[in-house]
Structure 1
Amino acid sequence: MTTSAPRCSPRDAVLAVWLSAILLGALLALIVLISRRRIPESPRWLACRGRHAEADRIAAGLEAASRGRGR
């Protein structure tokens, strides 16, 4: 008596592909949400919304960082 391995139906394969695509999208969204906390708004965006002091502070920090790298 031989036992054969269970066969996957085409429906199972399609379901696995969709599930992997959804999980990959969720993982990428999570990475963006986590990394977004560390990225400041652009000075232009802040200035357009009337937050000039904050825009100046971030622009000064970006300029200082670029000078520190020899640019």
Structure 2
Amino acid sequence: MSKVTNVRVNLGPRMIMVGKEVLGTSDNISIQVAEATEEELEKLKSAYEIRLVKMVGERGAGEKNE
């Protein structure tokens, strides 16, 4: 399967939650996907729930700036 890179995906209106707590809503959320197949992008667009998880070792993933 071929992959596409640097694609903006509009996810539409979403509730914004942390755990089980609703913090608010958004009229439209869009994300920039670095690399994915067309099939993966379609799954993402149609998903009822999407989780965003900080990757360990990435800047801003719980590290303290000194």
Normalising to structure 2: TM-score of the pair? 0.22
Larger radius of gyration: 1
Q: Relative CO higher for 1 or 2, CA cutoff 8 Å, sep ≥ 6?
A: 2
Q: Which has the higher strand share?
A: 2
Q: Which has the higher helix share?
A: 1
